[in-house]
Each structure stands twice: as structure tokens, then as C-alpha cells.
Amino acid sequence: MMRTYNVILLFIAACIGGVVFFFTCKYTYEYKLSILKQKARATLIEAVEQEVKSRNVEGPLVFTLPNTANMKNAELPDSVTIVDSIGMYKLKLDKEKHYNNTTTDTNVRLLHSVAFMEHPIQPDSLNLIWKKYLNKVGISMGTALCVSVVDRFGDVTSASTSYSEWRKCSNLLFTISIGYACEIEVMAYLYYSVWNIIYMEIILGLLLYIVYMYMIYKLILFVQCKIIFVRDKGVIKQPVVKIIKEMKDSSSIRSYKLYEGFIFHADQNLIEFNGQQKILQPQPSKLLELFLRMEETGYVLKNSDIRESLWSDGSATPDRIHKAVARLRSNIKELDSSIDIKKCVDGYQLVL
């Protein structure tokens, strides 16, 4: 019954620990992924700026959209009119792309449109620059880009980086827009997983989980032993075990009276119980006497005490100790089922 109770307690503790471990990892992953996205977006914008600098854009830019720093609160018109060397044309504004742009500066956005209209972005080239900036901030992962361009007629053309077969929705980190109306949409991918983002946290968490389960197991055994001790405190504190006959000579006669009707003759390896007699093997007999000698500790024997007394040659194993205790328990219960031997922290207790 007690063993089943212990298993249930350990199962509950394991479930609680598992839930805590899961949500801790989940929170850590989401936090570190958020930081990763911020760094990756900032570095991609730097890469775009470097691409702009490599283009030589000349001539004034004319636009009809008000220049405001706070685009989120600005009232967005339906379209923007652009005048360039080709002529004047009106382009419809996409709100989502408008708010997802790399910059809030309308002049810079127009500059981007003109620069990349004449010399389109090459995904492989931009990807190499992006990777260089990522390495500078300590991010070393596989990268890929998909660039989609909308022309003045509303037609869309797309191109992706080479050697990015792993590119899929789960690896899409973010999307940014470049330019005005004829926006260039860049989808940024990183070859990441839960493991390579929080592998250190997972390893540390698993180690802590193992330590936690071990401590819970030890605590359960300790509490169980204390409960038994408190429950039987009144019995153990009384001189229920009396040495009724002992002679310090070559015969070494030693007899113990546990209570009326139960006498253990250690020198003869014999138990008397209400007129019945039970012969013990030498090892169980010696083990029982060891228990009875430990009245001051509540009849608790440590594994080390059993090991040194029964196997002085050092051949003791946990399995041998367990079997020796089980054999003694079985011998006693044949006569009196009220006496038991319980496992406690790092040892066993004789419960009278």
C-alpha cells in the first residue's frame, strides 16, 4: 500500500515538474525568438541600406504624400502620385505594406523605389550582405530571402535565393517592404529550430528536473520514515526490548524480550512466540540483533551499518541488503504479522 502511495506521489511530482519545465522552455523560447527577430530585422535593414548606397540615384523626386514621422497616426491617402524621368503616374497604396516599410521617411522610401526600379535587388547578393551583418551580432544560421516586386502596372515578379530548399513557412521570420507603392516585398527566412535557440536552457532544465525528482524521492522517503516514527513513537520510547539474559563469556548467551510472549534468543538463532519456536539462519538472526541494539535511534539501521556488519569483506550490494531484510521480515511475519521492517531514508526501521 505504501509503495503504491509513493508511486502516486512521484507521478504527481513528475507531472508538476514537467509542466513547469514545459512552460519555462516555452516562455524562454518565445522571448529569445523575439530578440532574434528584432536583431535579424535590424540587420536586414542595414543590408538594404548598403544595397542602396551601391546604386547611384540622381535627379529630384516629386511626391504628393505628406512627409510625417508618425505613419501609424497619420491619415493614409488612397494613392500617391510619382513623377520621374518616365513621367507622372499614380499608384495605389497598400496599408499593410505601408506600415511594414523599412523606414518612415518618405524621401528615403521614394529613393528606394527609384534605386531598385532601375537596378532590381538580387536575392543572393542581399542575402550575403545580410548574413555578414548577422554574423556581426552573433547570429550564425542558414539564411534565405524571397523578393517580390510590384511594378506600376500591378504585375508581381518573385525571385528567391539559391540553395534554400529548407525554406518553408515555419522558418519565415518576418516580411518587410521597401519603396513607395511599387513596393518590394522581402520575405526573410532563418534556418532555426527550438533546439538551436534554447539548447542550453533545455539541457540545464533537464538536469534540474532530474535533481528535482531525486530530491522529491528522498523527501517522500524521509517523510514516510518520520510518519512511521511518530506513529510508533509511544511504543518505541518504551523499553519494549529488554535484554533478559546476557553473559560475557565464551558462550555469549543473549536473549531479548520484545514483549510478553515474544523472546529472541540471539545466541541460539531462535525466536519463541506464544509457545512456538522459529529457527533463524545466521544472517537474519544477526540482522535482527542489530536492529534490537538500535533502540536509541528508534530501531533504525543505516545501509552502511548493515553492510559493515553482514559483509565485512566489502561484497555487499543494494540487492543483497534488500534480500537480507526481506528474508528477516518474512521469518518474523510467520510468527507475528504486527512486526514489520520499513524502508526509510538510507536504511530500514524495525516497527514493533
Query: What is the pTM assigned to this prediction?
Result: 0.55
Using alpha carbons only, give the angle 89, 187, 190 rounded to the nearest 5 degrees.
160
**pLDDT tens digits for range 288-302:** 999 988 888 888 989
Average pLDDT, integer, range 24-30:
92
Percent of the chain with pLDDT over 90: 25
pLDDT given for residue 327 in this prediction: 92
Top mean pLDDT of 39-43, 104-108, 146-150 is at 39-43
All domains of the chain, ordered by start, with CATH?
1-197 (no CATH), 255-351 (1.10.10.10)
pLDDT given for residue 99 in this prediction: 80
Nearest to 272 by CA among 328, 332, 330, 324: 332
Q: At what angle do helices 303-310 and 318-333 cross, to 10 degrees?
A: 90
Q: Which of 7-16, 43-52, 209-218, 239-248 has the lowest mean pLDDT?
A: 239-248
pLDDT surpasses 50 at 100: yes
pLDDT given for residue 206 in this prediction: 92
Long-range contact set of residues 236-242: C-beta below 8 Å, sequence gap at least 24? 236/295, 236/298, 236/299, 236/352, 239/295, 240/352, 241/292, 241/295, 241/352
